[in-house]
Structure formats: structure tokens, C-alpha cells
Structure 1
């Protein structure tokens, strides 16, 4: 399915330690290059990733409207993980207690919540892939320590 809408503005990246996310594992990095990544998103990476993602997404326009109402796009985080030589990310999502909290009036099923969360994760992954493949020209600063054991 294709989602034929204008993309929202790229997220404004904030200074967060990715190790604070439950699902992130970043080793020994102190420069997450968020300013550089933000510039690349503004320079076309966000639009390119959005277009790629929108061609195959299962997200409906009404589900997208929910993400816009909740301002979820602005809760993405993208950062450089030099240890893994990749762009890492943390995708926003609708919490498990959405029903009890009356999170949004148009959320009516776990299916809708799951669909939105899954598609936001897919968008985040697409952004990372586009950044790494087409925009990032720096190399990883990580160098393994000299005292690693020889396993031969």
C-alpha cells in the first residue's frame, strides 16, 4: 500500500544518551553526531527516507493523523554509533496502557496501536539505512584496544 501524503518535518534531535533506552546498546560513544545527522535530515535524507517508506507502508492516512495529533515524529532519536559503524535510532510509540490513559480518541484497538508502532519502527529503520547509504561520509572513530587476546 502507498501512503500519498506530504511528509512531516524531520524530528529535532535532542541530546539523550542512547544507553538510557531500554532497547539500545551503544558501547563507549560520547559523540553521537546529532547535529550532523540533523543537518543531513534537513538536506534531503528525511524526504528520501519518507518517500521510500511511504511506497510500502501499511499505515493508513487515519493512523498517520493519530501520529500527527500525538506529535510522535518529533520523538524520534537518531544518533551515530561508532562502535557498530551505523546510525542508531529510537522510534516513538504508543504505550501499552493507551486504553487506560485514553491516549487518543481515535485509538480503538490493539491492531491499530500495533500497526502504528510497527510502521514507526520501519520508518526509523528506513531513515537509518538512507542516512548510512547515501548521506554519511564519515568513518567510525572506534578502534579496538591493543590488548585484546589473540584467539588463534
Structure 2
């Protein structure tokens, strides 16, 4: 069943975090992460397009979505350009494993809820990356492979 909610605001992408500090991302080489350009594309419609696509297919419930909003998880999304891989990379926020001890939210009361929210946000992040790359990004990767690579 689709998630029938309003499109949330676009997160602010900040250059303060090196993507290699995330457990779920690895960027090779020095690169311009192009966060400013990506944020502009998100504001120009990529975020809304991705949200519409994702919300039509997600398993996240309206109650779980309310938890996401109340915990302000969407503000912690990060998107960055990975020139070496010619792709948009991302870091999806989530509910931490120690959610019980931290008592983050009164409605976060089971691993099922935590898993559903975390999986849903990961899927949304991937959808945003795909929409950006397939429909909005017009630049080419500046990475050039060495000429002495073997032919396979």
C-alpha cells in the first residue's frame, strides 16, 4: 500500500563530513563531492520525484513515517558525488541498535519497526541516487583511468 504523505523538505547537504567516515560508504581518491550542486538538483525536483516514486512502493507505514519525521531523520541524509565510480553516493540515517537503552521515541518499541524504518530510508536514499543520476545530472566523471590497464 502506498505511503500517502506530503513530500518532506530537502535536507541541507554540508561539506563537513568526509563520506569515508560513514560505515556504509567508501569513496576512492580525492574528489569534489559536489554537494552544493546535488542539493540544487534535489531542490529543482529530484527529491520530490524520488519521494513520489519511493512512496508509491514502500512498505513503511504512516505510523513509522511519523516516527521518521518526529526524530528528524531526513535532515541527516547525505548525498555526494563519487567521481571515481561515476555515481551519486549516499548515507541514509537510521535508528541506532541501542534504541531500547536510549528510549528514542515512545512508538519505537520493536525490532520490526526499527528494521522497517531503516530499510525504508535506505531504499529511499538509493531511489534518490538513481533519480539524480538518471534524470538530473548532466556532468561527466572527470576521472580518467590509467592508460596501462590490461585488456580483458
Common fold by TM > 0.5? yes
Deviation at 1:136, TM superposition (A): 0.1
Instruction: Provide the rounded CA distance (Å) in 2 between the counterparts of 1:114 and 1:41.
Output: 26
Instruction: Provide the rounded CA distance (Å) in 1 between the counterparts of 2:28 and 2:77.
Output: 20
Match in the other structure for 1:82: 83
Structure 1 gaps of 5+ residues are: none
Match in the other structure for 1:132: 133
SS of match in other structure, 1:56: coil
Instruction: Provide the rounded CA distance (Å) in 1 between the counterparts of 2:137 and 2:151.
Output: 33
1:3-152 equivalence runs, <5 A: 3-15=3-15, 16-146=17-147, 148-150=148-150
Instruction: Provide the rounded CA distance (Å) in 1 between the counterparts of 2:39 and 2:94.
Output: 21
Structure 2 gaps of 5+ residues are: none
Deviation at 1:151, TM superposition (A): 5.5
Instruction: Provide the rounded CA distance (Å) in 2 between the counterparts of 1:101 and 1:22.
Output: 21
The answer to which of 15-24 and 111-120 deviates more is 15-24
The answer to which of 45-54 and 27-36 deviates more is 27-36
SS of match in other structure, 2:66: helix
- With normalisation by structure 1, the TM-score equals 0.95
Kept in 2: contact 1:53–1:123 (CA 8 A)? yes
Kept in 1: contact 2:31–2:83 (CA 8 A)? no
SS of match in other structure, 2:33: coil
The CA deviation string for residues 39-61 of structure 1, in whole angstroms up to 9 with x for no partner, is 00000000000000000011111
Deviation at 1:128, TM superposition (A): 0.3
- RMSD of the TM alignment (CA)? 1.1
Could you list the runs of 4 or more consecutive aligned residues of structure 1 that deviate by over 4 angstroms after TM superposition? none
Instruction: Provide the rounded CA distance (Å) in 1 between the counterparts of 2:149 and 2:133.
Output: 31
